[in-house]
Structure 1
């Protein structure tokens, strides 16, 4: 996706100043952002990369960078990543694809190196952004993609406040036409933000495997 995006930007005779992606386990986000991060590390461009995760499963913004299992059954090899603990069960949300206790090791390492700026938004904030996008573009984003939309809108508003022009690239990674009930609930004021339980995270992190 990132390589294709680079080609598309070339066709547009432009290059992104900011790259924004939704982040759950990291595969979607890495596919978009890693080619641009590579170009930055080679000194070719200076691009800001933003990872947007759900506030009720904030592995990058609230998790611990440590060795942990990649699954709840503790069957995988240990990997060093940002984690909320493999036994942590995130609260229910419509962005099911982003409900994962950990983060891809390479994404985690790049956050530690300062190459990725992580941020988190609530479910209702993201659906509000999705509605704004749908009204402007005629495309209903998937709940997961709404996180990237929210991140892109936030970056655009920052440009407006600072009086600068920046090219912002984000990945609309899915449509929401199978999620219309979620949008119906949002418009009816029934969509709730379920905060993650800090005590449950603390318990899960207390159970992290011991690594010598």
Structure 2
């Protein structure tokens, strides 16, 4: 294991693990509330983050979109600093490598999620290139419909960014796909304890679109 991530069990490619923050997080998990991004180096230089024990710090990075040619990736490659705190390095599946981080975030995930063969190749290639006891993080791609497949393939960390973006665009995501808020009559209410459910309705009315 790394200092801040440990694998406790496996089932095929899927893993049960622990992100060892001040308040440990059992993985697979959504980690929106546990991640701090130190920022992109495309816009400006960034100070070396100090990091903290209670969150996973995404190190300063230059993320490459899917299909970026190797000479470009090589020219703008980032040296990932070593910090005394839980850290994640942003890498491309085309050139993932061990940089001493606790987690690896794939910058080109949007290019292969949803494409079975490319997805398999990218995950296998990345897993072979990074230490087995580090977490694999796919950001901005998880949905209620595909998250089980991501976990089955060995992804440890995801976030709700795509769901939030689609929500802002007026779409509600479920395990069956997506539906426009203009056509939904109602949305499921948040899950409540049994004592609360007995006193309130299980559904809420969708906001007016007029």
Q: For this structure pair, what is the TM-score category when the shorter chain's length is used for normalisation?
A: under 0.3
Rg larger in structure: 2
Q: Does 1 or 2 have the higher relative contact order (CA < 8 Å, sep 6+)? A: 1
TM-score (norm 1): 0.27
- Judging by fraction of residues, say which structure has more strand: 2
- Judging by fraction of residues, say which structure has more helix: 1
